Structure 1
Amino acid sequence: MSTPSPDAPVAVPAVFVHEALAGVREQGHDTAALLVAAGIDPDLPLDRDHHVSATQYARLLRRAMAALNDETMGLFSRKLRGGSFALMASAALHGGGTLVDALDQFLRSLGLMQDDLVPMLEDDGRHVRVILRFATASVAARPFVHGLLLRLMWRLMSWLDTGKLRAERVELAFAKPAHGDFYLNIFPTELVFGAAHSALWFQSARMQGPVRRDTSALADYLQKAVLDMVIPVVASARYGDRVRAHLQLEHTRLGQWQDLEQTASALHCSASSLQRHLAREQASFQSIRDHLRRDWAIYRLQTSVVTTLALAQELGFSDEASFQRAFKRWTGHPPGKLRRRP
């Protein structure tokens, strides 16, 4: 059993790239071309000790889906062609008045579109559980598939509840791998490896609540759906958690670090209100933003040959000197000391 990490990831272990591209390799497609198109060095060892940025990873997933016209990237025995997830999300949105109705419709649609999985929905009055029961052993043997399905289900249900729904527990039907700690980033809840079946748990009472979305927001959600593979689900009452997740999501999506006013607007409050909420949690917008920018700077210095000037611009500094001063304040060292050596 594991406890969740509080931080959104800025980098993804490259072993997840290897797992994601398994179906692409098996179908004989050129994975090197996909890596290059996503901005990833094709000679990068795809192991747990090397990393790609969250932006590169999301870009790679999109390109792999497009190359195969398969939203499961060749990992299932039958393709889920482009638009399949949109149909399943629409079915959930229109599936009934409650969240559990929506989840039931999503699972029914998923069951119709592929042959390898018979998802089960159980409600004992305390918890609603989605249980993944596989009909095809070769698909069940792919840990990436388990994570992909549970991740997208949780994120869709959270979106239907305007981001407020959290999972009580995630079970994964495989032993904890060497890179298992990263799963705490994509499943920030009680996490259990080595379960009999992979499963997603919600509070039953919460799942009797209404669907709070309509079709007007569906297109925007679908545009961001691939990022849900990377960015943690945050259904937290803590404003610090919500700010951290929002900043990381927008950086991954747009390559920009949003400011206080933009973030407050996204969280449906004023800048002054957001500052007060954070102060009550003994946090500040600037400290959260700087923590994320520090981690991004360290990652970029250690995994690329980016110049200090270019990195300063990526992080939103007005000039190189301002970035260097900030970096030394964050880490106690100048940027050059942490730079990767050839």
Structure 2
Amino acid sequence: MGKRTITVHHVRAVLRGAERAGVDTVPLLQAAQIPPLLLGDDRARVTSVQFARLFRALYRTTQDEFLGLSATPSRPGTFAMMCYAALGCPDLGRAMERGTAFYGLFDGGPKLSLTHTPTEAVLTVHNGLGADEDRFLAECVVIIWHRLCSWLTGSRIPLHWAEFAYPPPPHEAEYGSLFGCPVRFGAARTAAGFDARWLSAPLVQDEASLDALLRRAPFDLLTRREYDTTVAEQVRRSLAQALRASPRLPSLTVTAARLAVSPATLRRRLERENTSFQQLKDAVRRDAAIAGLAEGREPIAELAARLGFSEDTSFHRAFRRWTGTTPGAYRVRAAGHGETPSAASSGTPSGTPPPPAPAAPGANPRQ
């Protein structure tokens, strides 16, 4: 419970390269236990386990680290060699410079640069990566580099901002939570900024830890959110942990006390991040509901009660508001693909963080 779900927009985007290559993606979706019909609903979401299966299936099918999304493929092992090259540097700044230079050797790959002032460092992606019409690959480059840097230093590196050289997509609300910082579209470049002092941070990883990371990369780096950089993320994590223990989620006052701030301060900080305590509660329940329906056999009535809904009808109304379908219809779609829930791979990392969901009219979860 508490695993974040992933918007269907990202599912569509990650399939584009294989589709352009003439690959029949329906069997890949079915193997990942993602109902193909979900791709037609803009409100649909999938679990991180489902997305992990799809991502890995696409990697095996395309034999391309860019999943066919760039004009030029990246052979398997390229990212690993870049990591090994960067690992020999004494600090993060030189590791980033070596890594950006490494990818500059390949036509069609990401053209990156690292610039900095005394106070701020900026990683810039200078090209649109060819056929990446959804900009999924360009966004992944920023995310993976940021989280790789955090992993290399063994510390959370908060981003100051992220900006993108294209108009806001329909799923714009995803990005603040995804990057953990203010996000702007329609900018002159695609880039992200962070405190320049991190450039002098020593690397704390070695080849043994890198080998372990590479067994899960790049998916872990793309989806793990262990470096909470926003108040909303801290609140969401606290609520998800509470929901594991009880369907009665803590109040704003209780949660504020756990975070050592006043309720008014917590409310203001969430407002600055364009969300609210109630929206985060709804998002936590929504993601737990989707995970329970997609990967478990728990009766819907029991799932509703476990998530804090006093009546089945309240749960049905809320779920339809969140996803555009009913709990029963979602379970039927997810169950018809041959692989049982027990066949899911264990240890799958948390998914891309979703935006806070609006409160569902008629929903009546116990507080």
Q: TM-score if structure 1 supplies the norm length? A: 0.72
Deviations 1:17-65 (A, max 9, x none): 1111111111111211111111111232245321111221122111101
Q: Which runs of structure 2 are paired with 1:182-201 in the superposition (5 Å)? A: 182-201=174-193
Q: Distance in 2 between matches of 1:22 and 1:42?
A: 14
Aligned to 1:5: none
Residue type at the aligned position of 1:63: A
* 2:306 equivalent to 1:326: yes
Q: Percent sequence identity over matched residues?
A: 23
Give the direction of change, closer, same or farther, for the CA distance of 1:36–1:324 in structure 2 (3 Å limit).
closer
Aligned to 1:294: 285
Q: Secondary structure at the match of 1:21?
A: helix
Give the direction of change, closer, same or farther, for the CA distance of 1:124–1:47 in structure 2 (3 Å limit).
farther
* Segment drifting more, 34-43 vs 216-225: 216-225
Aligned to 1:155: 147
Residue type at the aligned position of 1:190: P
* 2:210 equivalent to 1:181: no
Deviations 1:304-333 (A, max 9, x none): 596434x79xxxxxxx5xx66533xx2333
Residue type at the aligned position of 2:309: T
Aligned to 1:16: 10
Q: Distance in 1 between matches of 2:205 and 2:283?
A: 30
Give the direction of change, closer, same or farther, for the CA distance of 1:81–1:224 in structure 2 (3 Å limit).
closer
* Segment drifting more, 171-180 vs 228-237: 228-237
Q: Distance in 1 between matches of 2:9 and 2:95?
A: 33
Q: Distance in 2 between matches of 1:116 and 1:103?
A: 16
Give the direction of change, closer, same or farther, for the CA distance of 1:141–1:125 in structure 2 (3 Å limit).
farther
Q: Distance in 1 between matches of 2:260 and 2:229?
A: 15
Aligned to 2:298: 308
The alpha-carbon deviation at position 9 of structure 1 amounts to: 6.4
Give the direction of change, closer, same or farther, for the CA distance of 1:193–1:109 in structure 2 (3 Å limit).
same
The alpha-carbon deviation at position 140 of structure 1 amounts to: 6.2
* Segment drifting more, 183-192 vs 68-77: 183-192
Residues 162 and 179, structure 2, Cα contact 8 Å, conserved in 1: yes
* 2:111 equivalent to 1:121: no
Q: Distance in 2 between matches of 1:186 and 1:19?
A: 16
Give the direction of change, closer, same or farther, for the CA distance of 1:56–1:237 in structure 2 (3 Å limit).
closer
Q: Which runs of structure 2 are paired with 1:125-144 in the superposition (5 Å)? A: 125-134=118-127, 138-139=130-131, 141-144=133-136
Q: Which runs of structure 2 are paired with 1:204-283 in the superposition (5 Å)? A: 204-222=196-214, 223-232=216-225, 234-236=227-229, 241=234, 244=237, 278=258, 280=260
Q: Secondary structure at the match of 2:157?
A: coil
Q: Secondary structure at the match of 2:174?
A: helix
Give the direction of change, closer, same or farther, for the CA distance of 1:225–1:208 in structure 2 (3 Å limit).
same
- Structure 1 residues without counterparts, runs of 5 or longer: 1-7, 249-256, 260-276, 284-289, 313-319
Give the direction of change, closer, same or farther, for the CA distance of 1:281–1:333 in structure 2 (3 Å limit).
farther
Q: TM-score if structure 2 supplies the norm length? A: 0.68
Deviations 1:255-296 (A, max 9, x none): xx999xxxxxxxxxxxxxxxxx9574699xxxxxx9887333
Q: Distance in 2 between matches of 1:187 and 1:113?
A: 27
Give the direction of change, closer, same or farther, for the CA distance of 1:172–1:61 in structure 2 (3 Å limit).
same
